[in-house]
């Protein structure tokens, strides 16, 4: 091949030759299209523009399935039940890892009269694909565990037990549920569930961390934000929002600085009534569930529905993609997986003014997270990923502030935090706020990093209940940035009449102190310096020395998304040369 390219180059230099190009053989990528009869309705898996959708607004998976279909990975569906006898779910169901937390037994089957939610969710994550019936899941060969929790009211202890259940064997738990939408209240997990989420993420899956995916919520019309939902905004959750088949924010999808990614779902009215396409998946068999066989604008087979939607549909798609990623690279931690999803996502609505690229090259939008999940790009990144170093936490608490918040004043009050930790790379950031206010929805709360990235943690909305009393607000918008420097918290009351005060702030920054390694290889008369660091978006200075005393700057090297960077030292003059890499300041 090198000879052909060289010959073509020489030919192009001859004025008598109009065109000289090497004729090279190229490999072509097959794309697996399953034989499930309703696959053509599953635009979230392959959007060709059917029914007015925008082509490629999908999960970009079909070529991934040639190699990865979720085999060996168990996805737990924490919901109102899983109809394991469904013909498209039965092949993937694992009874030994299933449990009914409502009735205290090992049978997670739903009550068909009321529990219609979990079976469609399960089908989206892991319905058996390419079996000639029904639909395909995102991870069509992943195993499914049914964890029935939403079939009845539960205690904090039951919720915690469901999250911790078999957390070594069940690698992913999908949670298409959370705080009720539209109440104006701040609602979240009790102390046991909060601890369980942390424990599952830090000790589950043999210490790599169980992946907890949560639906971002459907309360946009009521002014809800994912940060008002203490389940989805957990520092240990992957919060997912929804986009339509045209790549637009779904009409119900809540914004939030804590959103990780988007995935497809319904939007607006039913498709037959002028809205956008909803999601096709498994339904309770027979006349139960969403489709009774005679429902207007439904599939002819009542065991399936094409009218599922909400962020409840988006979350299990991400759980399925997570299953594919963990099959491709079982060494990924839950934090690795979150960053891979973000760095490989596709920007939707690129003209939206809220898109922001932070100082580590990560893009984010409060409406969309890091963008639409891109299965193919995520797999490509996962197979070459440099694993993140062990997580560390910086925490600074400010109490007894007693700062009145000026009424109806956009300037508000500002508190600062000075972080002195050198070389600390940010991942998630949490801010626990105590700000008594009779109408706390009047408050806008913004966190600004030393690099200038802003996270809108809370916005003006209709509110009720006790408000920001040690309430945790979280963000992923600073992921990859340097922690060192001045962090600002701005709290402003933007509505007249009622007043409040800022009493306490607790800033918690999760992240790592990446350790860079160098490998030097002789290449002809040059030296190739390969730098590896779990710090995509960071820059290092490569220097050389012949005596380890005086160092000569050679070049800056940017770390790519795979955690790698390269510099070639051409024809070094010394017989012996040493190399080192120093972290460049932000």
φ, ψ dihedrals at 577, nearest 5°:
-145, 135
Which residue's structure tokens are 């499914």? 144
What tokens does 284 get? 């309770």
Q: Which of 312, 319, 449, 463 is catalytic?
A: 312
342 contacts 476 by C-beta, under 8 angstroms: yes
96 Cβ contact list (under 8 Å, min separation 6): none
110 contacts 148 by C-beta, under 8 angstroms: yes
Q: How far apart are CA 405 and CA 468, in angstroms?
A: 14
Q: How many Cβ atoms sit within 10 Å of the Cβ of residue 285? A: 19
Q: List 473's β-bridge partners, or say none.
A: 431
- Burial tier of 506 (Cβ tally within 10 Å: 0-12, 13-18, 19+): middle
Q: List 242's β-bridge partners, or say none.
A: 263
- Nearest Cα residue to 234 out of 252, 253, 251, 211: 211
- Nearest Cα residue to 338 out of 510, 192, 147, 463: 510
- Helix or strand holding residue 148 (H, E): strand 143-148
Strand, coil or helix: 161: helix
> How many alpha carbons fall within 13 Å on the CB side of residue 555?
13
Please give the angle made by the CA atoms of 103, 109 and 114, to the nearest 5 degrees.
Answer: 85
Q: Which of 79, 115, 283, 303 is catalytic?
A: 79
- Nearest Cα residue to 346 out of 321, 383, 329: 321
What tokens does 285 get? 């068999």
Q: Which sign, positive or negative, has the C-alpha torsion 37, 41, 42, 46?
A: positive
- Burial tier of 352 (Cβ tally within 10 Å: 0-12, 13-18, 19+): middle
Q: Which of 44, 117, 366, 478 is catalytic?
A: 117
Rounded to whole angstroms, the maximal C-alpha distance in the chain is 84
Alpha helices for 132-214 (secondary structure H): 156-164, 191-203
- Helix or strand holding residue 312 (H, E): helix 311-328
Please give the angle made by the CA atoms of 475, 479 and 482, to the nearest 5 degrees.
Answer: 120
- Is 312 annotated in the active site? yes
498 contacts 513 by C-beta, under 8 angstroms: no
- Is 117 annotated in the active site? yes
- Residues designated as active site: 79, 117, 312
């Amino acid at each position: 091949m090198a000879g052909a390219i060289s010959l073509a180059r020489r030919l192009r230099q001859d004025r008598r030759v109009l065109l000289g190009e090497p004729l090279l053989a190229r490999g072509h990528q097959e794309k697996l299209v399953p034989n499930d009869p309703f696959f053509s309705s599953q635009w979230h898996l392959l959007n060709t523009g059917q029914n007015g959708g925008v082509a490629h607004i999908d999960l970009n998976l079909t070529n991934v399935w040639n190699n990865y279909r979720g085999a060996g990975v168990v996805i737990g569906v924490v919901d109102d039940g899983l109809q394991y006898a469904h013909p498209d779910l039965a092949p993937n169901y694992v009874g030994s890892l299933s449990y009914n937390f409502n009735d205290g037994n090992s049978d997670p089957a739903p009550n068909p009269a009321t529990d219609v939610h979990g079976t469609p969710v399960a089908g989206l994550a892991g319905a058996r694909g390419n079996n000639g019936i029904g639909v395909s899941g995102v991870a069509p060969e992943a195993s499914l565990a049914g964890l029935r929790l939403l079939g009845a009211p539960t205690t904090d202890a039951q919720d915690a037990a469901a999250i911790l259940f078999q957390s070594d064997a069940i690698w992913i738990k999908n949670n298409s549920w959370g705080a009720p939408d539209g109440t104006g209240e701040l609602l979240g997990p009790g102390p046991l569930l909060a601890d369980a989420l942390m424990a599952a993420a830090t000790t589950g899956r043999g210490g790599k961390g169980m992946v907890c995916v949560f639906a971002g919520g459907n309360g946009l019309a009521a002014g809800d934000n994912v940060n008002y939902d203490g389940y989805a905004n957990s520092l240990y959750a992957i919060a997912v929002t929804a986009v339509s088949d045209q790549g637009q924010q779904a009409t119900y999808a809540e914004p939030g600085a804590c959103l990780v990614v988007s995935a497809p779902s319904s939007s607006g009215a039913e498709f037959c009534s002028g809205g956008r396409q909803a999601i096709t998946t498994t339904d309770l068999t027979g006349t139960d569930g969403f489709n009774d066989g005679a429902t207007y604008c439904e599939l002819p087979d009542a065991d399936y529905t094409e009218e599922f939607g909400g962020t409840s549909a988006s979350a299990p798609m991400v759980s399925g993609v997570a299953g594919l990623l963990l099959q491709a690279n079982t060494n990924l931690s839950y934090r690795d997986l979150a960053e891979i999803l973000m760095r490989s996502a596709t920007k939707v609505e690129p003209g939206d003014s809220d898109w922001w690229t932070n100082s580590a090259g990560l893009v984010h939008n409060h409406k969309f997270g890091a963008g639409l999940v891109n299965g193919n790009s995520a797999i490509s990144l996962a197979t070459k990923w440099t694993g993140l170093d062990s997580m560390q936490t910086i925490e600074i608490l400010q109490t007894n502030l007693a700062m009145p918040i000026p009424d109806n004043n956009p300037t508000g009050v500002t508190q600062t935090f000075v972080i002195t930790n050198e070389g600390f790379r940010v991942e998630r950031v949490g801010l626990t706020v105590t700000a008594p206010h009779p109408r706390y929805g009047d408050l806008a709360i913004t966190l600004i990093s030393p690099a200038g990235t802003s996270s809108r943690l809370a916005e003006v909305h209709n509110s009720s209940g006790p408000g920001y009393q040690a309430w945790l607000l979280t963000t992923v918008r600073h992921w990859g940035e340097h922690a060192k420097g001045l962090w600002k918290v701005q709290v402003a009351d933007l509505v007249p009449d009622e007043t409040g005060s800022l009493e306490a702030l607790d800033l918690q920054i999760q992240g790592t102190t990446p350790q860079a390694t160098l490998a030097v290889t002789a290449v002809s008369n040059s030296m190739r310096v390969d730098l590896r660091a779990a710090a995509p978006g960071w820059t290092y200075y490569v220097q050389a020395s012949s005596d380890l005393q005086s160092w000569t700057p050679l070049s800056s090297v940017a770390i790519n998304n795979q955690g790698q960077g390269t510099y070639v030292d051409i024809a070094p003059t010394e017989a012996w040369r040493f190399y080192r890499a120093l972290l460049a300041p932000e």
